Structure 1
Amino acid sequence: MSLMITDECINCDVCEPECPNSAISQGEEIYEIDPNLCTQCVGHYDEPQCQQVCPVDCIPLDPSHQETQDELYQKYLRISGKA
């Protein structure tokens, strides 16, 4: 699954630079995660880095973008050009 940022986001700016896929960007009101780029850090780290640094715990799984670990890895390969 891709991750998402909820309305509890305080725009603290710590998640965006942690994303190895550049999936996080500033939206109109809060940061947003592009589900086409989010791999939950699969291929880079053992855990999603944005979740690790978020001070308000507002980055849950996005139920509208369900993916298996293998699908996330395949997405990582495509994004990184290693496919």
Structure 2
Amino acid sequence: MKIEVDDSRCRSIGNCALYAPAVFDQNDEDGRVTLLDAMPPVHEHAQVREAASRCPASAIAVHENTSAHDG
């Protein structure tokens, strides 16, 4: 799994940090999403999917079946 965020779409709701705090945080200045781990471990995948599905701005893109070699 590889994750991309578009912080320009982010509306600072915070669902990402709530559902997957090991992978997402919020910027202290404006509350927008901050990506902590673009390629999280398998045990975080369900939480990442939940966070992405609950983002009202669709600012999180989850790319499944991506390995470190896919760059």
TM range (shorter): 0.5 to 0.7
Which residue pairs with 1:31 in the alignment?
Answer: 33
Report the counterpart of residue 43 of structure 1 in structure 2: 43
1:43 CA drift (Å): 2.3
User: Structure 1 length as normaliser, TM-score?
Assistant: 0.54
Taking a change above 3 Å as real, the CA distance of residues 49 and 3 of structure 1, as seen in their structure-2 partners, is farther
Distance of 1:24 and 1:5 partners within structure 2: 12
Structure 1 unaligned regions, length at least 5: 72-83
Alignment of 1:1-83 (within 5 A): 1-19=2-20, 22-27=22-27, 28-29=29-30, 30-35=32-37, 38-39=39-40, 42-44=42-44, 45=46, 48-61=49-62, 67-68=66-67
Count of residues in Structure 1 that have an aligned counterpart in Structure 2: 62
| CA RMSD, Structure 1 to Structure 2 (Å) | 2.9
- Give 1 or 2: higher helix fraction: 2
Pair member with larger Rg: 1
Give distance in 2, aligned partners of 1:46 and 1:24: 10
Percent of residue pairs bearing the same amino acid type = 13
Select the structure with the greater relative contact order (CA < 8 A; seq sep ≥ 6): 2
- Bigger strand share: 2
* TM-score computed with the length of structure 2 as normaliser: 0.61
Whole-angstrom distance in 2 between the partners of 1:17 and 1:46: 9
